[in-house]
């Protein structure tokens, strides 16, 4: 018996995904994101470990202060992050989902806010505690402005956060 193969759509369709729920699901299951920064007008991408705040207002990550991504953020705070589940959907392109998060990034100074965000980050990434607390490491908070979810290959849903 032959199984019916799913057709890959050739046009983009408006989606109806509940993006806040998708974000929570991705945050629980996915540990890495691709960060895109602006490097003198050229997109620069980096793989990062991330966590979302429970209110879904921010993405948190840590990076050494000597990196290109850190310098790029200091020059231009506008960033994008891509979180996806491609490793779990290798049998079906149609089941793969991705969320692009667009926002404004800034380093967080040590203090009450830093401690609160560090706690959220370490809850998800306890193995990175020493790295987080190193003097040469910066904690970065990205204030989420917009999220775009893509599922079923070309079905787009948008969530305006601000």
Helix (H) or strand (E) holding 41: none
CA separation, residue 47 to residues 33, 44, 79, 82 (Å): 6, 11, 13, 10
pLDDT tier at 94, thresholds 50, 70, 90: low
Measured in Å, how far apart are the chain's first and last C-alpha atoms? 51
Average pLDDT over residues 9-31: 74
**Paired tokens of 97:** 């989902």
Name the band, by pLDDT with cuts 50, 70 and 90, for residue 113: very high
Task: Give 148's pLDDT tier (boundaries 50, 70, 90).
Answer: confident
> Which of 13-17, 75-79, 89-93 has the lowest average pLDDT?
13-17
More confident position, 97 or 123? 123
66 burial type by CB count under 10 A (0-12 exposed, 13-18 middle, 19+ buried): exposed
- What's the chain's average pLDDT? 87
Domains and CATH numbers, the chain: 19-160 (2.30.110.10)
pLDDT of amino acid 144:
96
Instruction: Please write down the HEC assignment for all residues of 115-150.
Output: HHHHHHHHHHCHHHHHHHHCCCEEEEEEEEEEEEEE
Kindly state the average pLDDT of the residues 22-47: 94
Residue 1 pLDDT > 70, yes or no? no
What percent of the chain is modeled with pLDDT above 70?
A: 80
Q: H or E stretch including 25? A: helix 19-29
Has residue 105 got a pLDDT over 80?
Answer: yes
């Amino acid at each position: 018996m032959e199984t019916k193969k799913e057709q890959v759509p050739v046009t983009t369709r408006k989606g109806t995904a509940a993006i806040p729920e998708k974000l929570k699901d991705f945050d629980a299951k996915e540990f890495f994101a691709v960060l895109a920064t602006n490097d003198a007008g050229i997109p620069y991408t980096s793989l990062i470990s991330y966590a979302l705040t429970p209110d879904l207002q921010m993405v948190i990550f840590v990076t050494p202060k000597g990196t290109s991504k850190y310098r790029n953020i200091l020059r231009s705070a506008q960033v994008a992050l891509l979180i996806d589940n491609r490793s779990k959907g290798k049998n079906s392109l149609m089941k793969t989902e991705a969320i692009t998060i667009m926002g404004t990034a800034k380093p967080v100074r040590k203090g009450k806010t830093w401690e609160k965000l560090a706690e959220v980050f370490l809850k998800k990434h306890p193995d990175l505690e020493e790295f987080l607390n190193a003097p040469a490491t910066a904690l970065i908070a990205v204030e989420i402005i917009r999220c775009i979810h893509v599922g079923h290959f070309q079905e787009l849903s948008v969530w305006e956060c601000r």
